[in-house]
Structure 1
Amino acid sequence: MRIRQSILVLFFASFILLLSSYSQLFAGSSFKLQKGNILVYGHNLNEGDIGVPGLVFINKRGIFKTGRTWREIISRGQVNPSSHSWVSRYGSVTFNNFGKDFPDGGMNEAGLFIWAMNEEADYPKNDSLPKLNQKNWTQYILDNFSTTEEAIRSAYEFEIDGWSWHFFVGDAEGNTAAIAFINGEVVVHTGDEMPVPALFNSPYDREMELLKYFRGFGGEYEPDEKDPNVPRFVRTAVMIDNFNKGDDPVEYGFYMLKTLRIYDEPEWSVLFDARDRNVYFHTRENPERKVLVLDEIDFSNTEPAQVMNIAIRYKGNVLSLFEPYSKSIMYNFIKNELLPVLPRDFYTHGDLSGNEFTDRIVSHTDSYTDSANHFFKGTWRNITLVTENELNFSLKFEVVGSAVTAFILQSANDENYEVDNLQMIGRQFCFTFQTKSGKILEVKGHINDDKMHVQLFGIEDFYGEYTLKRAN
């Protein structure tokens, strides 16, 4: 017990230093393993044998959300609030240790992977951009995008706050990027500028500088993949080169994660198989391997988000062990598992007590179900002058809790269509629907007070622009 207490004391002191100088006590490792039809993304969370608590979330598509900044969460006056809102297009599996929609990383059903690692960051300031905390921005990317290119573009579209992170991103095609924030600028490495698809706790350029000193990459030092004196980036480059098509990608991926450990066994080790669509993970406290099969998960919004403690003692498929998310689950986790390993200075510098901090984290999702925020809800009728070649239709948005569904109501033939692929970012939205004859149509639009302006597209046709007005 005395040894355990000493470790926690050292952790608290180091954590405070982290917040001010962003040291590398919290070491992360992310990489891509790709060959032929094999595509695996891996991540280690190394935190010095602390016992990091965490929750695994199954997040649903079609959920209305409002953003949060970190200053808003921890300051008594909720300074610098976010006004950004969206409706999630994709479901996802994420690994969180703070709260719902505050993940460290994960993958969505479209195969987009993102994970964060601690590194010096100087987030750009731009008052004209919407604001999000860096964890909330991670969830925003998983909720809305399917490609690395989209994730990169998003980095320029927000003023991000929080502590220092940089990000490893990869999509279902294997396109990767390292996204960092250096000297108030977004710095991205991707494509040919990212020859080694991996990221740790140093700027990507610095990792490449060190790589050139090792044999096989231009230098003379022996790059032994098991030698802890060799940088993790270099060892990862070697292991990626040594991977063969005949190797089991999951077993090889976990071998890489074990080889890249720091201090002791990693707190969390996670693999996403983007081709077989499986998620594998284990923790230091419970090394039995668990799996989630993405194609077995119902990502629709007919049921609440699902959640499971990452440290649950089980081996194998854990889908049946998830339970519906509730604020009480989140409250008990923050109060009993997270706060005991957080230094008080983490939240008291915002002048909040532990109970107040917990309430802020737990209640930030209340705005999702607040009808005052559902500016899109109701029936919108076409008020455009309709000719015989144009369509007379209405668009209806329904909200139950935070779950959003939309319908096309066509009065001419009395047909209704539930929409697919609904995505709403701010007041811009798009979706698709399929007619009974099998034709796929796309609707794009934006809402301006009580008017909605939409464009209707076919696969190769444009069916015109329409103005709709809120009917109720």
Structure 2
Amino acid sequence: MIKKIYLSLLIAMITSNLIYPCSAIVLKNENQILLAKNFDWTYHDGIIIKNLRSISKTAYYTHQGEPAQWTSKYGSITFNQNGKEMPYGGMNEKGLVVEMLWLDLTKYNINEEKKYLNELEWIQYQLDNFETVQQVIDHLNEVKIYPIKGKIHYILTDKTGESVIIEYLNGMPTTYKKEANVCQTITNHSVHQSEPYKNQIKGIRKNNTAPTYRYYQLEQKISNFKVKTELNEAYAFNVLQKVTIPKGDFRTMWSIVYNVHQKSISFLTDTHKEIKNIRLPDLDFGEELTYFPLHQNEIINLSRELKSFTEHISYSYLSPSLIHLGFDETVTKDISQHQFLQSKGVSSYFASNYFHFEISIPLEEEKQTVFIAVMDSEEQFKKREVVTGGYLYGTVPNNGTLMVHIYGLKNGKYSMLTFIDNNKNRNLDFDKQGKAMEKYATFSHFTFANENELTFSSTSADFSISNAQVAVKWNH
């Protein structure tokens, strides 16, 4: 049996615009329950959608198997970039809140024989079907996640005051639940990785692009939180401000505060900083699918201002967002049409043309530092830009096999460079004779005579679902 291990301490991106932060915190006392979230990303546009109850739904067909089917019991308000049915987070009319954040070490059990949905449909599924955190936990193993791109974990809360973080680290969901009046926070490392940084920042880069630093700041807010503190939206936005990434291509695009007891949502965006709000009790979830753009200051109370939402409007947001994630136009049209038709498919463009990498990297010693980068073009290689989810760098505490998963890549040619970074400089080092000084591997069988031979073509191979499981063999 392969001993599977995971990176600890440090996971960083090869270029600063390809990190994947987000921060979330659940603040609770006897009078209030607030879930506050910063959405940090490189793509700007977004909308809120009013999702209806009593709508029959079918998950998007991604592979041979049975997509999940259900009928929505509850209406919800969600924050979306990728059309309806694939939100980043939201609240339903019973007060259940679900949000997601990036987690690079995520591994879904894609081969499990269960009805499936993708990682964002999972959010809408919970909002459609359940009232409480405990109900979500009780039904967690009824469906599996077959992702189209994202490696994410989830944070939820409800009217009882319970909250939970749900992570998929080795195929199976793991839950970390907190009772009423016990606050909870998470950023972009697993719960297990994050906990050592609750009360100390030694060795942490003191910058909000660092997940551990944001986690530390939020935990300090929890530690200093007094039960009698006046807990309201202003307080929560102030907490989010402490972990905001204010500028750059990668920045905080919007900040949200969900008020569970009032069933209201307040938010602001990076370009429109007036706080907008919407109250779910003021909405009719029995008629007309509606939406509203996030980035505007003209209308503050959105409850009675939502506009009719059509596939044409949905596609105008969905297509550029999914293309930004690396999908082609054909699959964006396929997904958009499915979201409005909701028919049970037996094939899809995604299923025929996209695959998931599983890369196994053998580590013979403890505490080795591993570099891996996957790129999909000569241009990306020259710029040192990786595919979404295609870069890991960190120190592995144990020997064994490091499993790396990259989801939702189109069939084609990909380049990989991985090496044991003995010098911890994130470079494959060569001696004066041009020989590599560190163990390395690529997708090709080419052995480099010198550093100049390290190119996209010399490190790449063609891939599809037929050969997507790659076992690394080191060159010495």
In 2 relative to 1, CA 22–123 (structure 1 residues): closer, same or farther, beyond 3 Å? Answer: farther
1:226–1:235: 8 Å Cα contact kept in structure 2?
A: no
- SS of the residue corresponding to residue 316 of structure 2 reads helix
2:50–2:76: 8 Å Cα contact kept in structure 1?
A: yes
Distance 1:333 1:231 in 2: 32
| Structure 2 residue aligned with 1:358 | 332
By how many angstroms is 1:253 displaced? 0.2
| Structure 2 residue aligned with 1:9 | none
1:51–1:284: 8 Å Cα contact kept in structure 2?
A: no
Of 109, 115, 132, 1:147 maps to 132
Distance 1:152 1:144 in 2: 12
2:253–2:269: 8 Å Cα contact kept in structure 1?
A: yes
By how many angstroms is 1:246 displaced? 4.6
TM-score (norm. length: structure 2): 0.62
Of 92, 96, 114, 1:112 maps to 96
Of 154, 159, 177, 1:172 maps to 159
1:129-160 Cα shifts (integer Å, max 9, x gaps): 10110111110000000111122233322221
| Structure 2 residue aligned with 1:277 | 263
Flag the structure with more relative contact order, 1 or 2, with Cα contacts below 8 A and sequence separation at least 6: 2
By how many angstroms is 1:196 displaced? 5.0
By how many angstroms is 1:91 displaced? 0.7
Number of aligned residue pairs: give it. Answer: 325
Letter in 1 for 2:244: R
Distance 1:252 1:36 in 2: 16
The aligned runs of 1:207-218 (5 Å cut-off) are: 207-213=194-200
| Structure 1 residue aligned with 2:27 | 33
2:311–2:340: 8 Å Cα contact kept in structure 1?
A: no
- SS of the residue corresponding to residue 154 of structure 2 reads strand
Of 223, 242, 249, 1:259 maps to 242
- SS of the residue corresponding to residue 365 of structure 1 reads helix
Of 162, 172, 188, 1:185 maps to 172
| Structure 2 residue aligned with 1:238 | 220
In 2 relative to 1, CA 208–310 (structure 1 residues): closer, same or farther, beyond 3 Å? Answer: same
Letter in 2 for 1:40: L
In 2 relative to 1, CA 54–154 (structure 1 residues): closer, same or farther, beyond 3 Å? Answer: farther
By how many angstroms is 1:167 displaced? 0.6
Distance 1:225 1:358 in 2: 35
| Structure 1 residue aligned with 2:117 | 132
Distance 1:187 1:23 in 2: 30
1:45–1:267: 8 Å Cα contact kept in structure 2?
A: yes
The aligned runs of 1:24-423 (5 Å cut-off) are: 25-47=19-41, 50-69=42-61, 72=62, 79-80=63-64, 82-119=66-103, 120-162=105-147, 163-191=150-178, 196-213=183-200, 231-244=213-226, 245-262=228-245, 264=247, 266-300=252-286, 303-335=287-319, 337-338=320-321, 342=324, 346-347=326-327, 353-354=328-329, 356-368=330-342
Distance 1:369 1:232 in 2: 42
TM-score (norm. length: structure 1): 0.63
Gaps in structure 2 of 5+ consecutive residues: 1-11, 345-476
Q: Percent identity?
A: 23
By how many angstroms is 1:81 displaced? 5.5
By how many angstroms is 1:235 displaced? 1.5
1:129–1:159: 8 Å Cα contact kept in structure 2?
A: yes
| Structure 1 residue aligned with 2:446 | none
Distance 2:124 2:138 in 1: 15
What root-mean-square deviation, in Å, do the aligned CA atoms of Structure 1 and Structure 2 show?
Answer: 3.3
Larger Rg: 1 or 2?
Answer: 1
By how many angstroms is 1:104 displaced? 0.5
